[in-house]
């Protein structure tokens, strides 16, 4: 895919949604971090249902640590892998309190040192909370990047590097949100909604299946 086609794709996505946002509900950097940890192998909708009950009770490192692992499980038990997520969140709260004055760090190395935080989670926090140019490649973005031809790669890291290299700079801060929302609602895994797609005429998948 050439740079002019990529530019047109992101230009259309921006026109359709000028200010894209995560669908996770949060009111602080810490709440965002916890919600992203919880969202691994879970839907944003399921996370929002759990945190709507949790955050009014505990939404700081200190309050969640005081809540304790077993009580925390009670709030997040509807989310997949809740046992390991509860353990990781408690560990993360302790590190934030002990090493970061209870403030979510804005450096990748510090974020990835937290329990339950891998590269994708760190990228989401860096981009969404701190507006750093990062690309969190989940299953939606991996699929849409390869399917459309925007950035092809055999694994998520390869796609991330391709996106960072080829997404036009003026779109890079919001590209993650545009791609994930497009993959979630239009370019779905089975039977993508090509007739409703605003970039279908620019997409390799559409061309191949005509």
Could you tell me the CATH number of the domain that includes residue 96?
1.10.340.30
DSSP collapsed to 3 states, 142-178: HHHHHHHCCCCCCCHHHHHHHHHHHCCHHHHHHHHHH
Statement to judge: residues 118 and 160 lie in one domain: no
Active site residues: 120, 138
Statement to judge: residues 80 and 114 lie in one domain: yes
Structural domain containing residue 77: 29-128
What contacts 180, CB < 8 A, 6 or more positions away? 138, 140, 141
Statement to judge: residues 82 and 52 lie in one domain: yes
pLDDT in tens, 1-44: 889 999 999 999 999 999 999 999 999 999 999 999 999 999 99
Statement to judge: residues 166 and 91 lie in one domain: no
Number of domains in the chain: 2
pLDDT in tens, 52-84: 999 999 999 999 999 999 999 999 999 999 999
Statement to judge: residues 71 and 152 lie in one domain: no
pTM for the whole structure: 0.91
Q: Residue 206's pLDDT is what?
A: 59
Q: Residue 210's pLDDT is what?
A: 47
pLDDT in tens, 168-200: 999 999 999 999 999 999 999 999 999 999 999
pLDDT in tens, 103-146: 999 999 999 999 999 999 999 999 999 999 999 999 999 999 99
Statement to judge: residues 36 and 121 lie in one domain: yes
Burial class (CB in 10 A: 0-12, 13-18, 19+), 125: buried
Statement to judge: residues 64 and 92 lie in one domain: yes
Statement to judge: residues 124 and 139 lie in one domain: no
Asked whether 127 and 180 are in contact (CB, 8 A), the reply is no
């Amino acid at each position: 895919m050439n740079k002019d086609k990529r530019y047109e794709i992101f230009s259309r996505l921006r026109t359709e949604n000028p200010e894209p946002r995560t669908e996770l509900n949060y009111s602080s950097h810490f709440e965002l971090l916890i919600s992203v940890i919880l969202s691994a192998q879970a839907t944003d909708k399921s996370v929002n249902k759990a945190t709507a009950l949790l955050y009014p009770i505990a939404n700081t490192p200190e309050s969640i640590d005081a809540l304790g692992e077993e009580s925390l499980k009670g709030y997040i038990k509807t989310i997949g892998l809740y046992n390991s997520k509860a353990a990781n969140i408690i560990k993360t709260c302790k590190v934030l309190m002990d090493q970061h004055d209870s403030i979510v760090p804005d450096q990748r190395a510090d974020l990835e040192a937290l329990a339950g935080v891998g590269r994708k989670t760190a990228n989401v926090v860096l981009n969404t909370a701190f507006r750093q140019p990062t690309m969190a490649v989940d299953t939606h973005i991996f699929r849409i990047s390869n399917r459309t031809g925007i950035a092809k790669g055999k694994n998520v890291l390869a796609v991330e590097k391709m996106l960072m290299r080829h997404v036009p700079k003026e779109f890079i801060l919001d590209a993650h949100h545009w791609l994930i929302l497009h993959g979630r609602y239009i370019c779905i895994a089975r039977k993508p909604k090509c007739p409703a797609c605003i970039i279908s005429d620019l997409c390799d998948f559409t061309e191949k299946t005509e």
